Amino acid sequence: MLLAFSVAPSGQPASAANGGPTPDASVHDAVAAAVKIVRESGLPNQTDSMFTTIEGEWDEVFDVVKRATEAVGRYGSRVSLVIKADIRPGFSGELTGKVERLEEAISATD
């Protein structure tokens, strides 16, 4: 399975609501916390400007997404989570394999 997800906090974290520091509009610290969990999982992964993609079995991939989402939750009172999955049993190495096949197809049209 390939699973691409984007997770971001919204609202103020509890500390800001109780007179603590007010967060700025950037979510990079929250996203960094999520990506750190993904990278530490040991699963093949790739992060770009919009999504992080993970490759693995259903349970292990969703465990990582759950933990990443919980980490982001500390940065706001709400969390937005977007998920897109390519479920193709029996295949692995698709994180790079799909892109390699695409590049080959593009080269073949030249």
pLDDT digits (tens, 9 = 90+) for 2-20: 999 999 998 877 665 555 4
pLDDT at position 38, please? 98
pLDDT number for residue 20 = 47
User: What is the identity of the amino acid at 103?
Assistant: E
Q: Do 92 and 19 meet the contact criterion of CB atoms below 8 Å apart?
A: no
Q: What would the two tokens of residue 18 be?
A: 């109780």
Q: Residue 21 above 50 pLDDT?
A: no
pTM of the entire predicted model: 0.84
Rounded CA separation 12/84 (Å): 27
